[in-house]
Amino acid sequence: MRQDKPGVLLVNLGTPDAPTTPAVKRYLKQFLSDKRVVDTPRWLWWPILNGVILPIRSPRVAKLYASVWMEDGSPLMVYSKRQREALAARLPMPVELGMSYGNPSLKSALDSLMAQGVTRLIVLPLYPQFSCSTVAAVWDGITEVFAGYRSLPSVQFIRDYATHPAYIAALKASVERSFAKHGKPDLLVMSFHGIPQRFADQGDDYPLRCRETSEALIAALGLAEHEAMLTFQSRFGREPWLTPYTDETMQSLPAKGVKHVQVMSPGFSADCLETLEEISEQNCEFFMHAGGTKFEYIPALNDDELHIDMMVELVNSQR
């Protein structure tokens, strides 16, 4: 009889191997070559990507990575490894970490799980809110790896966890810690990574899932409607993305009498360039320059105990 042996694959976006121009260029090329991320026709996109974007963006992005790089690597990698280690310590099954882009690759993680005799794969993409550009890319990556296997495990794929009670509880605790430390702000801003508006128009329910997370968190915190708002960050290119934009919001709030903000990015399971540099530094500067007086960034859940508790619950729900 075939023995049932479950195993867990944690997946996040990925990161360059080093804060250098060549490493960033390799990473960006893989990332921006994924049709889930950029669906421009290849004949048009390749010359732009290789001739313009990579040569110009890679050195600039490398400097940004260098500004947040930790002793053991990029923040995303450091926290993702801690998450894997903490989850593995809590579960009686193998747990591996794979990245959609860069290292450790999805193939290396899946090869390791299969070598350990896993027959039932539980896939946990660390994106709380589904998007075709993130979670669906994980699905694509796994099926591409499986194309080279003679034997396949059964697969249990966790689509997202935008309103899971343990996720909302972990977010609530992180906000309450920040309020206790810095005082309650005039406004709590929940900044999610953006996607092109066109993706949503074509059926991606990501903005709905972001709103549902925000509404659940606001209710859990007992905040009034005017005490919190949702925004979208990290837009790229010229076409319209989900609004309101975080950067424009930060620049407009002080004129409306909002002088103290706290900003969190609930869609990021681990701190990374988009939170530590874009939010904590760039958007702080936008807000303060526009007349704000206090700005605090509320860290991602990272390897917080309540975050790991949530992961355990999600995995156990699939057992």
- Binding-site entries: 193, 274
Residues forming the annotated binding site for Fe(2+)?
193, 274
Listing DSSP states for the chain in one string gives -PPP-EEEEEEEEEE-SSSSHHHHHHHHHHHHT-TTT--S-HHHHHHHIIIIIHHHHHHHHHHHHHHH-BTTB-HHHHHHHHHHHHHHHHSSS-EEEEEEEESSBHHHHHHHHHHTT--EEEEEES-SS--TTTHHHHHHHHHHHHTT-SS--EEEE----TT-HHHHHHHHHHHHHHHHHH---SEEEEEEE--BHHHHHTT--HHHHHHHHHHHHHHHHT--GGGEEEEEE---SSS-BSSSBHHHHHHHTGGGT--EEEEE-TT-SS--HIIIIIIIIIIHHHHHHTT--EEEEEPP-TT-HHHHHHHHHHHHTT-
